[in-house]
Amino acid sequence: MGILDKLFGEFIDVIEWTDDSPNTMVYRFERYGNEIKYGAMLTVRESQTAVLVNEGQIADVFQPGLYQLETRNMPIMTTLHSWPHGFSSPFKAEVYFINMRRFTDLKWGTKNPVMLRDKEFGPVRLRAFGTYTLRVSEARVFLKEIVGTGGHFQTGDISDQLRNLIVSRFADILGESGIPLLELAANYDELGDFITQKIRPEFAAYGLDVMQMLVENISLPPEVETALDKRTSMGIIGDLGRYTQFQTAEALAAAAKNPSGAAGEGIGMGMGFAIAQNLGQNLAQSKPQTASPPPLPNSALYFVAIAGQQQGPFNSSQLREKIITGEVGRDTLVWTETLVEWTPAEKVADLASAFAHIPPPLPKN
């Protein structure tokens, strides 16, 4: 069988690779003994780069196109071997096809929570996960630094290494962003772009280019999320008194659904009285208290009927002066907002004392 493979390899003169999988990054063209016929046709398709490796050393790199492997198309190989003119026998070399297209929907995430100090909450532990897109930017660097001599290299062979690289930088990058914890969800796009720019140089060292990094979720530990939910509930409820009422009402509803004889009824009645009492107190406390200042002295305003004409308004001091001068007599009609109808001045309590030193009118003969 080995002899047949060798003979078959001698006559094959077409070298190509069609990608039949979504995650293959590098494929080594298989030939018996790595022998390639001189003059063979090499087909490099769009989104591919072909690399010839001779004796462990990268010899030539071919971009998309159709090539005939001969001396004029392989200047580096020619220099390495110094082939004589007219050389036409097979030569030994390895052909690696590098897939240059974008690889999408690659996953990243934190295995363990990362520590971060938030301005509002202090030290917190965060978990995060998302996806990223990458492609091979430098075929030579990627083949030399990552692939090595592997004949079939897929995204899964490097995803763990790249994920660890992302996570190891995640906490530092997140801290540099300065985004508050409660605003992270509203800044996933900006955070993804920020991380992409920060981590791109490290990917370039492997001959890779991270095109886009998406943050799908950043979460807190379950117990912190529970405390945060309670804090949110408190903010919605408004104050502790209302929250206590809410909790009491919930307990009362649960007791009503699961009565346990007279004891349960007694507890329910007691809770009902407590709720009513608390509600009354809270309503009294929540009722706005408007403090009104005491009335100013002599602040009442009076209207006076003099000579059949309404005059005023006068305050009590002004009206007392008119009483002293005789303009207003005992039977002069006055009115103020506290009186139902026009009333003689001497019958108004606020003015009665003003008539104490004024003698009554002389009796008629």
The pLDDT tens digits of the residues spanning 227-280 come to 777 777 666 655 666 667 777 777 777 777 776 654 455 555 555 555 556 555
As given in the structure block, the two tokens for residue 343 are 């009333």
Only one residue has tokens 């008629």, namely: 364
Predicted confidence (pLDDT) at residue 118 exceeds the cutoff of 90 = no
**Across all residues in the chain, what is the average pLDDT?**
76
**β-pairing, 14-15 with 41-44?**
parallel
Q: What's the whole-number mean pLDDT along residues 82-92?
A: 53
Mean pLDDT of 143-156: 82
* Residue closest to 329 by CA, chosen among 355, 290, 364: 355
Question: What's the pLDDT score for residue 82?
Answer: 47
CB 204 within 8 A of CB 137: yes
Instruction: Report percent pLDDT > 90 for the chain.
Output: 12
As a whole number, mean pLDDT of residues 83-87 equals: 45
* Mean per-residue pLDDT, 109-133: 84
Q: Is the pLDDT of residue 14 over 70?
A: yes
Counting every residue, how long is the chain? 365
The secondary structure of 22-60, three-state, reads CCEEEEEECCHHHEECCCCEEEECCCEEEEEEECCEEEE
Q: What is the pLDDT of residue 248?
A: 77
- Residue 62 pLDDT grade (very low, low, confident, very high; cuts 50, 70, 90): very high
pLDDT (0 to 100) of residue 87: 46
Q: Considering only CA atoms, which of 35, 26, 37, 27 is closest in space to residue 2?
A: 35
**CA–CA separation, 247 and 258 (whole Å):** 17
CA nearest 328: which of 341, 16, 312, 268?
Answer: 312
| pLDDT of 5 over the 70 cut | no
E strand spans, the chain: 14-15, 24-29, 35-36, 41-44, 48-54, 57-62, 65-68, 91-92, 94-99, 103-109, 114-118, 122-136, 152-154, 208-219, 301-306, 309-315, 333-335, 343-344
